[in-house]
């Protein structure tokens, strides 16, 4: 059994990321999409939380959502993997369940 | 609504504005003008092309006050007056010229 | 019609909801009627002004370039809260350059964006006649 966790809200606007990090089992992957991708940048108020999350979870972020928002993919926290839509689909099919922290 | 040219149909909204910006071509503009009883000369085209460039850069159709000022800056002071633009486009320069340019109705126009 | 001081407070990120785009539309309408318009960007609203937004990949309209038309609409007072930028690891250099031409200074091109502290922004809010929130 494995669960893919999806976060689509900004960590500065909602507590979706915090709830996800509190309730996701160790090693289960986290995918950041839409406004959730604002958590990927270095030097933000969420960077420490993300750094910590990376020691327990693989973290992915959707590349086109970064591009839409003007977030430079070269300036993201080390260890976060960028995926395109194919990668998104692959992640969802690799896991039994999806948990979207809306 | 739609405009028919050579058997091809182009969708417009209920006020005659083109639905898809990318459908636009010179012939469409001429047809729209003809329906209003107008013939486009080089002065009309100058404004229409200006509007298309403006939309390309800013993703909006400018309000008439903004259009007037910007035309004056780009095409010369004598053309940047509402008198000049209303003579070319008597239904309202922003409204009518935007329609011929295939743009949406300017923001703030009622 | 006597002109009133309108402040638009923008607190939402640009593409996750319709607020940002709607706000910009209302701002342009207000400015077309020659009101005195001021914009404030606070919290995730600061993301609206980030450079290099390219929405082709998400199939949404990119309205970021429209901010650059604000100068043509005589909207030249744009305030960004410093604390909101810092919390997001951002500085003014990360934002689109927005300018206007100053009628009272031989049409010199000037910066529209001012990064201000929370205290300064609080004063700006106090000075308004009408405040609209997005």
In B, what residues contact C, Cβ < 8 A? 57-60, 62-63, 65-66, 69-70, 107-108
Conformation bin of residue A49: beta by default, left when phi > 0, alpha when psi is -120 to 50: alpha
| DSSP labels, A36-74 | GGGGGBTTSTTHHHHHHHHHHS-EEEEHHHHHHTT--GG
Our answer on whether B and C touch (3+ beta-carbon pairs < 8 Å) is yes
Using pLDDT thresholds of 50, 70 and 90, give the confidence band for residue A3: very high
Contact call for residues B12 and B2 (beta carbons, < 8 A): yes
Look at B70 and C25 and tell me if their CB atoms are within 8 Å. Answer: no
Instruction: Say if B37 falls within a structural domain.
Output: yes
Instruction: Say if B105 falls within a structural domain.
Output: no
**Unique residue bearing structure tokens 């969420």:** A46
- Average pLDDT on C70-81 reads 95
User: Which among B66, B70, B108 is the nearest to C29, CB-wise?
Assistant: B108
Mean pLDDT of successive 10-residue segments in chain B (110 residues)?
86 89 92 92 95 94 89 90 93 89 76
Look at C53 and A70 and tell me if their CB atoms are within 8 Å. Answer: yes
Chains touching B (at least 3 CB pairs under 8 A) are C
User: Which among C43, C56, C62 is the nearest to A13, CB-wise?
Assistant: C43
pLDDT of residue B3: 87
- Please tell me if residue A48 touches chain C, with a CB cutoff of 8 Å: no
Contact call for residues A96 and A1 (beta carbons, < 8 A): yes
Look at C12 and A71 and tell me if their CB atoms are within 8 Å. Answer: no
Domains of chain A: 3-101 (3.40.1260.10)
Our answer on whether B and A touch (3+ beta-carbon pairs < 8 Å) is no
Range of the domain at C67: 5-133
Neighbours of A19 (CB within 10 A): 14
DSSP secondary structure letter of residue C82: H
Higher pLDDT, C41 or C2: C41
pLDDT of residue C3: 81
Query: Based on the structure, what is the number of domains in chain C?
Result: 1
pLDDT of residue A41: 97
Residue C1 has pLDDT above 60, yes or no: no
pLDDT of residue C53: 97
pLDDT of residue C60: 92
List, for residues A12-48, the tens digit of each pLDDT value. Answer: 999 999 999 999 999 999 999 999 999 999 999 999 9
Q: Which two tokens stand for residue B23?
A: 């459908």
In chain B, which residue's Cα lies nearest the Cα of C65? Answer: B58
List, for residues A62-96, the tens digit of each pLDDT value. Answer: 999 999 999 999 889 999 999 999 999 999 999 99
List, for residues C8-63, the tens digit of each pLDDT value. Answer: 999 999 999 999 999 999 999 888 777 889 999 999 999 999 999 999 999 999 99
Query: Based on the structure, what is the number of domains in chain B?
Result: 1
Return the CATH number at B81: 1.10.10.370
Contact call for residues A70 and C64 (beta carbons, < 8 A): yes
Neighbours of C16 (CB within 10 A): 23
B74, B108, B109, B110, best to mutate vs chain C, most C CBs in 10 Å? B108
In Å, how far are B30, B100, C1, C126 from B34, measured between CA atoms?
6, 10, 38, 53
User: Which among C28, C33, C34 is the nearest to B60, CB-wise?
Assistant: C28
pLDDT of residue B109: 56
Return the CATH number at C20: 3.40.1260.10
User: Which among C12, C51, C58 is the nearest to A68, CB-wise?
Assistant: C58
Instruction: Say if B28 falls within a structural domain.
Output: yes
Looking at chain C, the whole-number percentage of residues with pLDDT higher than 70 is 99
Instruction: Say if B108 falls within a structural domain.
Output: no
**Unique residue bearing structure tokens 């901010």:** C67
Range of the domain at B63: 2-100
């Amino acid at each position: 059994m494995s669960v893919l966790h999806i976060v689509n809200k900004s960590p500065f606007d909602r507590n979706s990321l915090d709830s996800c990090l509190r309730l996701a089992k160790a090693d289960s992957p986290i995918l950041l999409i839409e406004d959730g991708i604002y958590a990927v940048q270095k030097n933000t108020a969420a960077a420490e939380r993300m750094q910590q999350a990376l020691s327990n979870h693989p973290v992915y972020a959707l590349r086109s959502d970064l591009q839409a928002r003007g977030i430079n993919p070269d300036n993201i926290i080390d260890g976060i993997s960028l995926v395109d839509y194919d990668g998104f689909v692959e992640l969802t099919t690799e896991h039994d369940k999806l948990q979207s922290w809306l | 609504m739609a405009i028919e040219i050579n058997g091809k149909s182009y969708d417009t909204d209920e006020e005659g504005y083109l639905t898809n910006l990318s459908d636009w071509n010179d012939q469409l503009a001429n047809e729209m003008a003809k329906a209003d009883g107008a013939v486009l000369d080089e002065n009309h085209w100058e404004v229409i092309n200006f509007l298309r460039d403006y939309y390309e850069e800013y993703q909006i159709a400018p309000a008439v006050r903004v259009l007037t000022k910007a035309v004056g800056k780009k095409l010369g002071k004598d053309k940047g007056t509402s008198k000049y633009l209303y003579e070319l486009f008597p239904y309202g320069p922003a409204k009518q010229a935007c329609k011929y340019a295939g743009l949406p109705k300017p923001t703030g126009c009622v | 019609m006597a002109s009133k001081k309108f402040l638009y407070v923008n607190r939402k990120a640009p593409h996750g909801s319709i607020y940002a785009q709607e706000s910009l539309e209302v701002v342009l309408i207000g400015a077309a009627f020659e009101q005195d318009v001021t914009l404030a960007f606070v919290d995730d609203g600061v993301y609206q002004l980030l450079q290099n937004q390219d929405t082709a990949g998400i199939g949404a309209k990119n309205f970021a370039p429209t901010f650059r038309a604000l100068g043509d609409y005589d909207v030249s007072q744009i305030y960004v809260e410093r604390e909101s930028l810092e919390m997001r690891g951002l500085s003014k250099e990360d934002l689109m350059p927005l300018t206007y031409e100053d009628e009272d200074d031989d049409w010199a091109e000037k910066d529209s964006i001012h990064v201000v502290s929370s205290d300064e922004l609080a004063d700006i809010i106090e000075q308004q006649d009408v405040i609209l929130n997005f």
